[in-house]
Amino acid sequence: MRVAVTGAAGRLGRALVDALGAAPFTGLSGPLAWTRAVFDLDHPASIADLLERDRPEVVVHAAAWTDVDGCAREPELAMRRNAEATRLLAEACAARGLDLVVVSTNEVFDGRRTDGFGYRPGDEPHPLNPYGLSKLAGEEAARRAYQALAGPAQVAIVRTAWLFGPGAPDFPSKILAAAERALASGEPLRVVADEWGNPTYVVDLAEAIVELLGSGEFAGTHHVVNALAATRADWARDVVARAGLGVEVVGVPGASWPRASSPPHWGVLEATPLPSGEPLRPWRDAMADYAPLLLRARAASR
């Protein structure tokens, strides 16, 4: 199977390229790594020529503008990058009978539910912010592109949340830096305690997407997250403890820091079953694997 990955230089993209490279169905040549230099969300019309040149059978669309506050400040740009580029990609793939996987977000939901359950794929999306709106529009455009197809080509939406892993500074790496500053100043570390989500390790997410592709039948909407929910403050306490930093983490309301965007307070997804029937591991177990990489990277940055 010839698989192309958009956003291949990003956090998830790199994990996907690694996971696909180890998958038996991608062959000796491995996946096609489409970085921004190859497929640019600001110039998506080039996708038709790219598909003709590289001839993939499946495209995993991991590229996105994920700067939530940036999207709030420039909502039209968010729509162009996350919705219009996805539409053009989906239409080009559908016209050629190619399978497509679009990576999306928990922020398509408003986070206002109070029953303690995670959002399911069939729950009605209602984004609170321009990032969520643009990602939902991309989902809908991808589905429309495949609705009229009579052939076997399939489209999947994979929603996830709170990604962490190697690459540009993620939440754990930012928490480490903030905790060191707090410790030096003798102050507690204040972290948002009224936002809930599923911290999800990109390595686990990438392996799950590979499992979906390997099953051969993956059409539909999937929620793929590490097990168990947490607040940002819960997650920060885990990071601080693994780093052995003796700083107190104090939970505060999200309103303590005015932002351009409005994140959902309850951004928890209910994971859908993978083909193996095995759910992703709890996020703390994933953090245990990631922590040595995180701590080495932090030491090297000093």
The residue ranges of every structural domain in the chain are 3-162+200-223, 170-196+228-266+282-301
Can you give the pTM of this predicted structure?
A: 0.97
Give the residue from 93, 94, 100, 102 showing the smallest Cα distance to 150: 94
Give the residue from 275, 270, 248 showing the smallest Cα distance to 188: 248
The Cα 63–Cα 47 span in angstroms is 13
| Helices then strands, each counted (H, E), the chain | 10, 12
The Cα 189–Cα 170 span in angstroms is 17
pLDDT band at 76 (very low <50, low <70, confident <90, very high): very high
The answer to whether the CB of 103 falls within 8 A of the CB of 109 is: no
Is the pLDDT at 302 greater than 80? The verdict is no
CATH number belonging to domain 3-162+200-223: 3.40.50.720
The Cα 3–Cα 23 span in angstroms is 11
The Cα 89–Cα 40 span in angstroms is 11
3-class DSSP state of 259 = coil
**Which residue type is seen at 48?**
A
Give the residue from 268, 230, 278, 294 showing the smallest Cα distance to 117: 268
- Segment 208-215 shows an average pLDDT of 98
Give the up-direction half-sphere exposure of residue 181: CA atoms within 13 A in the CB hemisphere: 8
Which pLDDT does position 29 carry in this prediction?
Answer: 86
The Cα 3–Cα 27 span in angstroms is 10
What are the helix (H) ranges across the chain?
Answer: 11-21, 47-54, 68-73, 75-79, 85-95, 130-147, 171-185, 202-215, 232-243, 283-301
- Segment 124-150 shows an average pLDDT of 95
Topology alike, domains 3-162+200-223 and 170-196+228-266+282-301: no
DSSP string, 73-84: H-HHHHHIIIII
What is the CATH T-level fold of the domain 170-196+228-266+282-301, as seen in this structure?
UDP-galactose 4-epimerase; domain 1 (3.90.25)
Catalytic residue among 119, 131, 146, 201: 131
pLDDT band at 168 (very low <50, low <70, confident <90, very high): confident
Assess whether 131 carries a catalytic annotation: yes
Query: For the ranges 43-47, 101-105, 145-149, which has the lowest average pLDDT?
Result: 145-149
DSSP 8-state class, residue 197: E
Which pLDDT does position 95 carry in this prediction?
Answer: 95
Within 10 Å of residue 188's Cβ, how many Cβ atoms?
14
Which pLDDT does position 148 carry in this prediction?
Answer: 80
Give the residue from 172, 65, 191 showing the smallest Cα distance to 129: 65
Average pLDDT, the chain: 96
The phi and psi torsions of 252 (rounded to 5 degrees) equal -135, 160
The answer to whether the CB of 234 falls within 8 A of the CB of 253 is: no
